[in-house]
A and B are shown apart, each in its own frame.
Chain A
Amino acid sequence: MGSDNTQGETKSLNAITPITVTHPERVDIDALRLFREPAWVLRLTIEGDRSYTRIKIVRAAPLSHPDQYISFLDAKDEEICMIDSMDQVDEPARALIREELDRRYLTALIRHVTSIRNEFGTSYWDVETNRGQREFVVQNVAENAQWLGDHRLLIVDVDGNRFEIADLTALDKRSQAAVEQVL
C-alpha cells in the first residue's frame, strides 16, 4: 500500500534484485550548505531548493557508528537528509556538525574510577570523566550496563545519564578492578 511501485522504474525480473529504498527527498550532498546566521542560529540550505532554520543534527547509530550516518532533522523532527560519513562535507561544516553533536550527546567518558560501593543491589559510583568529577547511582548494574564491544562499556544511571568506558583495559588497574568487581 505504502510502497513505491507507483514510481515507474521497470526492472528485469529474471534476476533477484535486492530491495532498494530510495529516500523520496534524496538530497544532493554537494548542494548542502550548513552555516550559522546569525551566530546562534544553525541553518541548513539545499542550494537552489529550500532552507531550514532550527535544525537538529542526530546520529543514526550513536553507539555503533558515532561518526557515520549523521541525520539532519527539521523543527518537526522529520528527516531532511542524511550523510553517510563526515567526509562528505567540507571542513567548516564538519566542525559545525561536531559541535552540534557534542552539544546533543552528553555522554561522559569515564577516565578513572575513584570508588564503587555496592549495597543492596544498587551501586554508587564516584568517577572522573572528561566532563569532570561525578557521582551517580546505578540500580542493578548487570541490567544497566551494556557491553558495546569486548572492552567498551556503556552505563546508564538511574536518571538516564550515560557514562561510557571506551576501553576498560586502558583504565588504570585500580579502576579496572573496581569495575570488574561489580560486573
Chain B
Amino acid sequence: MTLSAFIEDVPSGIAGKVRASAGSEEQVLIQVATDMAGRASFGKRFLVVTDQRLLVLDSATDDVDIPLTQIERVRSDALIGGGCLEVELRDGAPVRVYYSNSLTPKFAEVAEGIGLLIQGEDPNLPLELDRTHCAQCSRLLPEKGGICPGCIRKRDTLKRLLSYMTPYKARALLLVGLTLVTALIELVPPYIAKHIIDDVLTENGDLGLLYLYVGLLFGLAVIRWIGNVVRRWLNTWVGFRAMADLRADLFRSMQFLPLRFYDKRKVGSLISRMNNDSDQVEGYLIFDAPFVLSNATMIVGILALLFYMNWQLTLYVLLPVPPILIGSSLIWNRLQGYWRRWSARWARLSTHLNESIGGIRVVKAFAQETREGERFDRRNHALRDVSVSAERSWLVFFMVTNFFMSFGAFFVWYFGGVQILDGQLKLGELMAFISYLWMLYQPLKWFGDFYSFMVRAFAGAERIFEVIDARSEPFEDPRATPIPHIRGHVHFRGAAFGYDPGKIVLRDIDLEVQPGEMIGLVGRSGVGKSTLINLITRFYDTSRGSVEIDGIDIQSLRLEDLRSQIGLVAQQSFLFNGTIAENIAYGKSNASFEEILRAARAANAHEFIIGKNDGYDMVVGEQGNKLSGGEKQRIAIARAILHDPKILILDEATSSLDTLTEKKIQEAITRLVAGRTTFAIAHRLSTLRSADRLVVLEAGKIAEVGTHEELMAREGIFYQLVQTQQATSAVMATEH
C-alpha cells in the first residue's frame, strides 16, 4: 500500500540525518518544520515521520528517534500564542514539539495524520496547505491563502482609482482635453502683454495693433471662461459617478464577505471606511485630481516658456527648488505617519460611537453616560492631537517653502533689472517673466497642499481596496453544482470545526438526517449547537470531514441555492429598520400581502401586530427596538416561514415566549415543519417534544441520539437534563 505523503523541503544537513536514521526502504510520509526550537525560543526544528519511526531533528545533537510502535497517542495541545504537538509514548517522557500560532493549522493536521498512521491507516494529509507567503514576492501574507497586498497594490492605487472612470470614458477624455486646453490658454495673456509693452506702448506705437491685442485678450478670456464652466461640470459629473461606483463596490464586497472576516473586524472601523475614507477619496477625485493635470501642464508650459525667453534668469528662479525638494522628502514620511494615525484614530472614535449609541440602553441602565463621555473625550482628544500635529508639521513646511520660493522673485528683479540697464533685456520681457513667475508659484504652492490631500486620499483608497480585495464567499463559483430543489437530506460526515485553528469546537460529528425529519439539538450552553447549524448554512466551512445535502458536499453546492432554501431563525433576532410587513417579507420581496398575513398567523404574530396602531405598517425601529423580545422572535419566525425553506433552523426561536404562546407557535411549527427538515435548538426541553429525534451534544461531540423515549429509557445525559428541569420547575411551583 502506498501512503500519501506530506513533505516540506528541509536543509541538506537535516535530509542527511533522516537518511542516516531511516533505512532506504522506509518511506518518508511526513516531513515538516516548526518555528520554535524548544518551548522557550524561536528557531528551526524538524519533525519527520516514516512508515517506521518518528524523528525530531534540529541542527544540534539532541535528536529524537522513536519507532512508531512505541507511540501511544498523539495530540495537538493549544497554547496561548501557539501550540504543542505531544507524542505520548508507551513508556517514558512524551516528545513535545512546540510551534507558534502561524503553524497551528499545519500541526493540527500533522497530529491527526500521525494518529491515523499509528493505527495503520493512511495519514490522509492535504497535499497543500494554504500559502503563508506570496508566491511572487515571498512577502508574508496578511491572510492565509489570501492575496498579497504588495503585489496587488503595486498596480498603483491611482491607476485603480482611474479605472473607475472607464465607464465614462468619453466624458473623461473630453475632460482631460479641455483641462489641457484651458491650462495652455492661461499661458498666452502674459505673452500678449509683453508684446503690448514692447511693441505698442512705444514712441511710435500702432493703435491698430493695440485693438488686435486687446481683442485677442478678450477672446481668450471668453474661451477660457467657457472651457472652465464645461470642465467643472464634466468633472462633477464624472467624479461623483465614479465615487458612487466605488462606494457601491465597497458595500457589495462587505455584503459578500464571509462571517470570518467580521469576526476579526470592528463594525465601527468598517463603517469609517465607508464614511471617512471614501470622503477623502471623493474630495480628491472631484476637487483635486483635475488640478493635477492642469497644474502640471501649466508648470511644464511655463518652465518651457521661461527657458525660451531667458534661460539665465530662469536658472535663478529655480535656485530655491533643490532645497525644497530635499525638505519635502524629509517631511514626507513624517506626514504619512501622521495621516495613518489620523485614520486609525478616526476608526477608533467611530467604533466607540457605534458601540455607545448602539448600546445606549445598556449605557443608561448602568448610568454610565458620564464615563462613556469621558471615554469619548479621550479618543476625541487623541484625534485632535494628531490632527494638530499633522497640520502643524505641514504648516511649518509650507511656510518655509513659500519663503524660499519668494527668493526667486528677488533674484529676478535684481538680475533682470541689471540686464535691462545693460540693454540686454526689454521691459516687456521682464514684466512677462515676472507674471509667469507668479503663475508658476501658484501651482507649485498648490502642489504642496495637494500633496497632503493626495496622501490622505490614497491612504483612504488603500483601505477601501483592502476590503474590496478581501476574499469573498464563493457566490460566483462557476463549478458549483446548482440545486434548485433541495429534498432536505442532511448528512454530517466526520465533521470537525473550530473558529480558531487548534481550538476545536466540534469534532467527529456523524449524523444522517432524513428529508422531513425534525431534529432537536440539546446540550449545555457553549457546547456548539449554534456552531453546528452554522455549518449547515455554510456560514463557516468544516475544517475536517464534510456536510452533505442530498448527497452533495455543500462546499460544491451553489451557495445562493443553498441559502435561499434554508430558513433561519437565529438566536439573536435581528430586524431591520422598516415596517413589520417589510421585515416579514425580507427573504421574499415579491410576497403578496396575503402571504405575509398567513406567515404572521402561523407564527402567532398576527394578533399582536394588529394590536399596534399602524398594524403591519408599524416601523420597528433600528434592530427592531420598538418591539418586545418575544414579538421580535415571532416576526423572525414569520420571516422564516414566508421564506418557505426546505430546511428550517430554529435556534432558540421561542426562548423569549411564555409557555402558552410557545405552545401555540409549537402547533403552528408542527404544521409548518411537515415535509421540511428541521433543526431546532432549545434549552427548554418541552419545546422539543415534537422532534423525531434528539441529538445531545457534549464536549464537542454527539453524545446521544434517539427519540425522547429512547433517551429517557437510556437514563443518560438527556435523562439527567430532563430530571433537573423538572426538579427546578417543581421547586418553583412549591415555593409559590
Contact = CB atoms under 8 A, between A and B. Distances in A.
A142 B344 contact: yes
B347 A103 contact: no
Contact of B42 (A102, A132, A159): A132
Given A120-B149, A120-B462, A143-B269, A158 B142 contact: yes
Nearest to A133: B42
Nearest to B344: A142
Given A120-B150, A181-B337, A161 B82 contact: yes
A179 B463 CA distance: 21
Contacts of B141: 137, 158
Contact of A106 (B79, B140, B340, B463): B79
Given A131-B41, A141-B344, A143-B269, A106 B82 contact: yes
Given A132-B43, A161-B102, A40 B94 contact: yes
Contacts of B94: 40
Nearest to B38: A131
B265 A102 contact: no
A157 B100 CA distance: 11
Contacts of A157: 102
A155 to B, nearest CB: 11
B142 A139 contact: yes
Interface stretch (A11-19, A44-52, A86-94, A121-129): A121-129
A1 interface: yes
B489 interface: no
A104 interface: yes
A43 interface: no
A143 B140 contact: no
B41 A103 contact: no
A121 B337 contact: no
Given A40-B94, A132-B42, A118 B81 contact: no
B341 interface: yes
A110 to B, nearest CB: 12
B93 interface: yes
Nearest to B82: A106
B360 interface: no
Contacts of A139: 142-143
Given A39-B93, A103-B39, A160-B500, A122 B149 contact: yes
Given A40-B93, A122-B142, A159 B101 contact: yes
Contacts of A39: 93
Contacts of B139: 124
Contacts of A68: none
Given A105-B80, A137-B140, A161-B100, A121 B347 contact: no
A107 interface: yes
A142 B41 contact: no
A134 B102 contact: no
Query: Which has the most chain A C-beta neighbours within 10 Å: B344, B347, B463?
Result: B344
B42 A134 contact: yes
Nearest to B94: A40
B655 to A, nearest CB: 14
Interface string B35-49: 011011111000000
Query: Which has the most chain B C-beta neighbours within 10 Å: A107, A122, A129, A143?
Result: A122
Given A76-B699, A142-B344, A106 B43 contact: no
B471 interface: no
A175 to B, nearest CB: 16
A161 B502 CA distance: 13
Contacts of B39: 102-103
Contacts of B79: 103-106
A119 B149 contact: yes
A134 B139 CA distance: 14
B466 interface: yes
A129 B42 contact: yes
A69 interface: no
A67 to B, nearest CB: 16
A135 interface: yes
Contacts of B345: 142
A90 to B, nearest CB: 24
A183 interface: yes
B153 interface: yes
Query: Which has the most chain A C-beta neighbours within 10 Å: B80, B104, B340, B728?
Result: B80
Nearest to B728: A1
A165 to B, nearest CB: 15
A160 B501 CA distance: 10
B266 interface: yes
B348 interface: yes
Given A133-B42, A134-B42, A107 B143 contact: no
B463 A136 contact: no
B142 A183 contact: no
A25 to B, nearest CB: 18
A27 interface: no
B58 to A, nearest CB: 13
B348 A142 contact: yes
Contacts of B80: 62, 104-107, 162
Interface in B713-736: 728, 732
A182 interface: yes
Contact of A120 (B37, B265, B466, B699): B466
Contact of A105 (B81, B101, B269, B463): B81
Interface in B1-54: 36-37, 39-43
A159 B98 CA distance: 15
A35 B153 CA distance: 56
A131 B42 contact: yes
B101 A160 contact: yes
Given A39-B93, A139-B142, A161-B102, A119 B150 contact: yes
A121 B463 contact: yes
B569 to A, nearest CB: 24
Contacts of B266: 143
Contacts of A107: 80-81
A133 B43 CA distance: 8
A120 B153 contact: yes
B534 to A, nearest CB: 20
A104 B41 CA distance: 13
Contacts of B463: 121
Query: Which has the most chain A C-beta neighbours within 10 Å: B93, B141, B340?
Result: B340
A54 to B, nearest CB: 10
Given A39-B93, A120-B462, A161 B81 contact: yes
A143 B142 contact: no
Contacts of B149: 119-122
Contacts of B343: 142
Interface string B152-166: 010000000000000
A148 B525 CA distance: 31
B173 to A, nearest CB: 30
Contacts of B150: 119-120
Given A40-B94, A120-B149, A143 B347 contact: yes
A28 to B, nearest CB: 29
B347 to A, nearest CB: 7
A118 B42 contact: no
A40 B479 CA distance: 51
Contacts of A76: 699
Given A1-B728, A120-B153, A121-B459, 19 more contacts: A62-B80, A76-B699, A104-B79, A105-B81, A106-B98, A108-B81, A120-B466, A122-B142, A131-B42, A132-B37, A137-B142, A139-B143, A140-B344, A142-B344, A142-B345, A143-B265, A159-B104, A161-B81, A161-B82
18 contacts: A39-B93, A103-B39, A104-B80, A105-B81, A106-B36, A106-B79, A106-B81, A106-B98, A118-B340, A119-B149, A119-B150, A120-B149, A121-B149, A124-B140, A132-B42, A137-B140, A143-B266, A159-B101
Interface of B: 36-37, 39-43, 79-82, 84, 93-94, 98, 100-102, 104, 139-143, 149-150, 153, 265-266, 269, 333, 337, 340-341, 343-345, 347-348, 459, 462-463, 466, 500, 699, 728, 732
Interface of A: 1, 38-40, 62, 76, 102-108, 118-122, 124, 129, 131-137, 139-143, 157-162, 181-183
